[in-house]
Amino acid sequence: MSDRQTEAEMIEACKQGDREAFRDLFEAHKDRVYTIAFHYSGNEAMARDVSQQVFLKLFTTINQFREDSHFTTWLYRIVANACTDEHRKRRRFVPFSPEVEVRYMTEQGSQERRFHRREVAESVHGAISELTPKLRLPILLKYVEGLSYDEIAQALDLSIGTISSRLNRGHKILARKLGHLRGEFVAGE
């Protein structure tokens, strides 16, 4: 997206068939789409497939964007639907990858401390991968993408109450599975 062109102008240009504007829109959002798909699936090939499906869908349906919500919310809905569709197609539970780079892994500290943090991160990733897709997606949108409950509800086309309930159930399951980690950082630091 150029400095002179706002996202709204870019979307309008896409609606008019401007391929350069679509390329700019793709560049502005490709990493975000891939990240959600990868966190959902834990599989690079599936994440690439889902990303490709999302942008193909976006290209063919951009005229349906009514601007009554934020563009990213509409885009998250397309990503969520594509992830769910791909999961149904494959009919198997794809594990969440512990190899995802964790932000705090680059912090300074002893080798032992970094190793301990990596083990904790792998435990968290493993627990998230075991959540059902309907619980996993709200958790990812909340904690990976930083969306609010309202934004998650809009992206998944669910009520805020349903999102709250799914996040609550996801938190309880994760707390049960990860309870052994309580106090790990206090003791390990």
CATH number where 166 lies = 1.10.10.10
What is the structure's pLDDT at 109?
56
Identity of the amino acid at 177: K
Residues 90, 6 share a domain: yes
Structure confidence at residue 90 (pLDDT): 67
For the chain, what is the domain count?
Answer: 2
If asked whether residues 40 and 114 sit together in one domain, one would say no
Specify the amino acid at residue 27. Answer: E
Same domain, 70 and 130: no
Domain region containing 33: 1-94
Q: Are residues 45 and 115 in the same domain?
A: no
Both 4 and 89 in one domain: the answer is yes
Identify the pLDDT of residue 31: 93
pLDDT at 184: 55
What CA dihedral angle connects 27, 144, 96 and 130, to 10 degrees? -150
What is the reported pLDDT for 67? Answer: 78
For residue 101, tell me if it sits in a domain: no
Whether residue 155 is found in the same domain as residue 70: no
Give the DSSP letter string of 20-43: HHHHHHHHHHHHHHHHHHHHHH--
Going by C-alpha positions, the residue among 82, 16, 81 that lies closest to residue 51 is 82
pLDDT reported for residue 155: 85
Torsion angle of C-alpha atoms 44, 48, 49, 53, degrees rounded to 10 = 150
pLDDT value, residue 78? 92
Given 34, 61, 94, the domain boundary residue is 94
Tokens matching residue 66: 């009514």
Asked if 143 contacts 137 with a C-beta cutoff of 8 angstroms, the reply is no
- End-of-domain residue from the set 61, 94, 127: 94
User: From the first residue on, what is the mean pLDDT of each consecutive set of 10 residues in the chain (189 residues)?
Assistant: 70 92 93 89 86 92 86 90 80 48 48 74 80 88 86 89 93 86 52
Q: Which two tokens mark 103?
A: 């932000």
Structure tokens at 5: 């062109």
pLDDT of residue 91: 58
Query: In this structure, what CATH number is given to the domain that contains residue 32?
Result: 1.10.1740.10
Q: For the chain, how are helix, strand and coil distributed in percent, rounded to 5?
A: 75, 0, 25
Judge whether 47 lies within some domain: yes
Check whether residue 88 and residue 127 sit in a common domain: no
- pLDDT at residue 127 in the model: 83
